[in-house]
Amino acid sequence: MKKTVLITGATSGIGLGCARKFADNGDRLILTGRNQSKLENIRQELEAKGTEVLILAFDVRDRQTAMVAIEGLPAEWSQIDVLVNNAGLALGLEPEYEGNLDEWETMVDTNIKGLLTMTRLVVPQMVARNSGHIINIGSVAGDAAYAGGNVYCATKAAVKTLSDGLRIDVANTAIRVTNLKPGLVETNFSNVRFHGDTERAAKLYQGIAPLTGDDIADVAVYAANAPAHVQIAEVLILATHQASGSVIVRK
């Protein structure tokens, strides 16, 4: 059955992978991101393949703009079946006592508060009709801190806790909550973290075959299409030669 899937941070990486995979699954998509032109390009790509796409350009950190966008959805798009809270980022690898306060604020506002905003805006209508699925993109970083990860790891630990808490809150309904925890995924994640230092970012993936955004999207689509009585609560997804957030064997 065709679903309406809302994906935040859909212009690159895991978000873009999810957009393409849910489109391949025959679903219709509401795609959000900060870059209008990138959203337009993705919309054209997917519509050319027969997918219905609605794009919304806003930053999940901007609660008021997010509220206007979601509350202003056309009636035919207002029933969201799957919310993929993907928008997120990491900035810097400095020790906690040398961290950049502005970068911390950006991570907290995006990874935690942005997720909460979208959850608060979308989930009530799921509860009202007793149907829906929330897929949060967490991280292996939420399981244990690694050197330099401090605040980013804390935000992803929060994603796990918020996912667990929401799952408890909706346990009396038919709504499902999934926390996906990727390990090393080759996207523009490291370019953002290192402020555009492509060479430094590339070194992170040397000597190992990392995951791709599509790999994570495959799991998201599987979780969303599991039988109604099956809730894929949490999945840790690692590259074959990665054992944890800090143990990576390079060959």
Q: Which residues are known catalytic residues?
A: 152
Look-up of token digits 């690159």: 12
- Amino acid 237 reads I
Per DSSP, helices labelled H in 87-193 are 101-107, 115-129, 150-169, 189-193
Which residues have CB under 8 Å from 115's CB, separation 6+? 60, 85, 87, 88, 136, 159, 162
**Phi, psi for residue 23 in degrees, rounded to 5:** -65, -45
Please check whether residue 32 is in contact with residue 58, taking contact to mean a CB–CB distance below 8 angstroms: yes
Interatomic CA distance for residues 140 and 171, integer angstroms: 25
Interatomic CA distance for residues 218 and 22, integer angstroms: 9
Please check whether residue 200 is in contact with residue 97, taking contact to mean a CB–CB distance below 8 angstroms: no
